[in-house]
Structure 1
Amino acid sequence: MAFWTEADFDEHERVEVVHDRASGLTAIIALHSTHLGPAAGGTRFWHYADPDAAMRDALRLSRGMSYKNAMAGLPMGGGKAVVLLDEKSTKTADMLAAFGDAVDALGGAYVTAEDVGASEADMVAIHARTPHVCGLPAEDGSVGGDPGPFTAMGIYHGIRAAVAYKLDKDSVAGVHVALQGCGSVGGGVARLLAKEGAQLTVADVDEDRAKTLAREVGGKAVAADQIMATSCDVFSPNALGAILDEAGVARLDCRIVAGGANNQIARPEHGAQLHARGILYAPDYVINAGGIINVSLEYLCRQHREPCDINEVRKRIAQIPDRLMAIWQESDETGRSSDVVADAMARELIGRG
């Protein structure tokens, strides 16, 4: 199938399929918009049983990055890359070098960073071939590095805002949050919520990781296939996306959905289903912008040879609740679902309103 006939093709400015025979690299780099600046978004290293799924991921994720960066007030466009791994998830130094060359060949139109399956060490290797990389190692208290903790910080702020808006509570103390995914982001969110006294139920495909996190935060671990049906105040998806399909929405037993996974809503009609059920939804690319705020400021400061201030990162992340509140208020006033409201706002910002 030609990528421009995909349902998720949205006037993308550029889609590159990269194949390097010598290293075995096969990758897709999708640039959705450079209206506000260079297209910024991480690289996902993943085994796709179906190559069409890799293209759909690249198209959806890059569009999401356009919206995310615009709504976060960053002078960056939206892009994303996926590297197609084999069944053993083989990733070599030669593949990283070839991918760095592919990014460099775009002349700064695309700026990459960590995503699923990528590490700071991978970014260092790619940076050896191109300057158009962010998320490089940083000392404690510095801008840059692993975006996960900053993403978690934004989601925590967003959950607090959702609890205030929907439940009329000024704290998450005693609020039951069911978290799907216990990795860098989900684990970070759980720890921040636990400090404030939230009641936590957690799940992960790695059951041992879920049990370990549950012990640490004083919560309960359940099987990965049970977490969406857990009766709770807030369901927080922090793993892979497209979980909110017709069956997923029907399983929910919560009043709020607020988490860091990208592209949580499988298709537009599923956002309408959430809205019809009276479930408050925090658009993913708004609530999970903390990581890209951190690494984008790292990149911009490095490009302009200016000092980076970690307090500026924290200040911008703390603005996430205000953006969510504006979306929810317009949703209530117009009757449109929050995902539709957010998309309209984002498209206006990138000149596609």
Structure 2
Amino acid sequence: MKQSYEQLIFLQDRSIGFKAIIAIHNTKLGPALGGCRMWQYTSDENAVLDALRLAQGMTYKSAISGLPYGGGKAVILGNPSQGPRELLFRALGQKIHELQGAYITGMDLGTTVSDMDWVRLETSFVTDISGSLGAVSELTAKMTAYGVYLGIKASLKRAYGSETVKNKIIAVQGLGKVGYQLCHFLKQDGAQLVVTDINPKLLKKAVDDFGASARKPHDIISVPCDVFSPCALGGILNDDTIGQLNCSIIAGAANNQLAESRHGEMIHGLGILYAPDYVINAGGIIVTSVELDGGDAAAAQWKTEKISNTLTNVFSKADAQGISTAEAADQIAEQLIGS
């Protein structure tokens, strides 16, 4: 991926314990679109790097999905399970409003519909508020999972000649809203699930609901499987983990799965088929785009179903040029952006 950013904004108000970052990567195709994440980072530097990578990923995700938006991301530094939230999100909303539509936010890791309602008190440049398309019946998470499910089927067809999920062993890392919904789709089709999560209650629930086999978080990467599906935090594919992979396909919902761009080439060299994350997990941003356009759930599903064709085009380009699927996806997105 090419790295150039339009804006990087640091926000702080010690009186309310507020520290945040807004990264706007590119707005050539339209306003920067990307959710607000709240997380307790090990350092401010890591928070900045996360915001930058996520914003760039949103630019590529919108472009390759044919959406008229650029990419951005907001990050609030803090524990999402502790402390008052209204003042923090209203402070963020005030700054977003000052940007006059250059950046539109929404839910992400560690944030909720209620948080977006606080932002909405300060600005109209926010999605996923109460009653919105993305908030109703958790459609954003459902469509993200649905897109990943369709992407897994497309990947199976490319790797095995058939998109059949039945009896395929699929290892799902992370059982949040998206990962859990993905398990639901896969189990309906007869997949054999191996799952993990840092939350033991979620892990037990998946075992009970889906007949899944449980693994400890640090063991899931090396589970023998047809598909490894990362659905937790980014950077999971790195120098330490790639050599442990025991799968034919990587296809999951997590953002920024490759710790560095070169890791896409490493995976390609091992003969593992990688479904680029910003292609396969675009269902959420598609819901947001449809919401902003005044569309409904049916329109969101219809557009999400195009992920299969987009991913197949990426695979075809990679094959034709003898390059990694990660590089192929980047080339397609950059051509669409005009960079």
User: Is the 1:85–1:91 Cα contact (8 Å) retained in structure 2?
Assistant: no
Matched, 1:188 2:181: yes
Partner residue of 2:311 out of 285, 305, 324: 324
Gaps (5+ residues) in structure 1? 1-7, 302-307
Write the mapping of 1:144-163 to structure 2, written as runs, cut at 5 A.
144-145=135-136, 146=138, 147-163=140-156
**C-alpha deviations, 1:311-337, integer Å up to 9, x for none?**
211111000010111111111111110
Compute the TM-score of the two structures, normalised by the length of structure 2. 0.96
Q: 2:131, 2:154 → 1: CA distance? A: 30
Deviation (angstroms), 1:24: 2.1
**C-alpha deviations, 1:248-286, integer Å up to 9, x for none?**
111100000000000000112211110001100000000
Question: Aligned letter for 1:224?
Answer: P
Q: 2:163, 2:92 → 1: CA distance? A: 46
Secondary structure of 1:332's counterpart equals helix
**C-alpha deviations, 1:189-235, integer Å up to 9, x for none?**
00000001001000001122112112101211111111110000000
Question: Aligned letter for 1:329?
Answer: S
User: Is the 1:135–1:144 Cα contact (8 Å) retained in structure 2?
Assistant: yes
1:20 is matched with: 13
Measured on the aligned residues, the alpha-carbon RMSD in Å equals 1.6
Q: 1:159, 1:117 → 2: CA distance? A: 26
Write the mapping of 1:31-70 to structure 2, written as runs, cut at 5 A.
31-70=24-63
Deviation (angstroms), 1:20: 2.2
Q: 1:10, 1:113 → 2: CA distance? A: 23
Deviation (angstroms), 1:179: 0.2
Write the mapping of 1:22-171 to structure 2, written as runs, cut at 5 A.
22-85=15-78, 89-138=82-131, 142=133, 144-145=135-136, 146=138, 147-171=140-164
Question: Aligned letter for 2:149?
Answer: Y
Deviation (angstroms), 1:144: 4.9
Return closer, same or farther for 1:138/1:152 CA change in 2, 3 Å cut-off. farther
1:235 is matched with: 228
Question: Aligned letter for 1:338?
Answer: T
User: Is the 1:46–1:89 Cα contact (8 Å) retained in structure 2?
Assistant: no
Return closer, same or farther for 1:158/1:88 CA change in 2, 3 Å cut-off. closer
Q: 2:154, 2:79 → 1: CA distance? A: 41
Question: Aligned letter for 2:88?
Answer: M
Deviation (angstroms), 1:87: 9.2
2:324 is matched with: 337
1:351 is matched with: 338
Deviation (angstroms), 1:25: 1.2
User: Is the 1:9–1:59 Cα contact (8 Å) retained in structure 2?
Assistant: no
Q: 2:329, 2:229 → 1: CA distance? A: 19
Question: Aligned letter for 1:278?
Answer: G
Question: Aligned letter for 2:207?
Answer: A
Write the mapping of 1:286-297 to structure 2, written as runs, cut at 5 A.
286-297=279-290
Secondary structure of 1:200's counterpart equals strand
Question: Aligned letter for 1:339?
Answer: A
Q: 2:268, 2:38 → 1: CA distance? A: 33
Return closer, same or farther for 1:88/1:182 CA change in 2, 3 Å cut-off. closer
Q: 2:70, 2:80 → 1: CA distance? A: 32
Sequence identity (%): 39
**Most deviating of 343-352 and 319-328:** 343-352
**Most deviating of 19-28 and 149-158:** 19-28
Q: 2:288, 2:333 → 1: CA distance? A: 20
Return closer, same or farther for 1:102/1:332 CA change in 2, 3 Å cut-off. same
Return closer, same or farther for 1:87/1:123 CA change in 2, 3 Å cut-off. closer
Q: 1:128, 1:9 → 2: CA distance? A: 36
Q: 2:81, 2:215 → 1: CA distance? A: 28
Partner residue of 1:226 out of 200, 211, 219: 219
Q: 2:200, 2:134 → 1: CA distance? A: 33
Gaps (5+ residues) in structure 2? none
User: Is the 1:178–1:201 Cα contact (8 Å) retained in structure 2?
Assistant: yes
Q: 1:84, 1:243 → 2: CA distance? A: 21
1:178 is matched with: 171
**C-alpha deviations, 1:99-154, integer Å up to 9, x for none?**
11011111010000111100111111111111001122337xx5654321111111
User: Is the 1:144–1:294 Cα contact (8 Å) retained in structure 2?
Assistant: no
Question: Aligned letter for 2:282?
Answer: A
User: Is the 1:48–1:85 Cα contact (8 Å) retained in structure 2?
Assistant: yes
Secondary structure of 2:218's counterpart equals coil
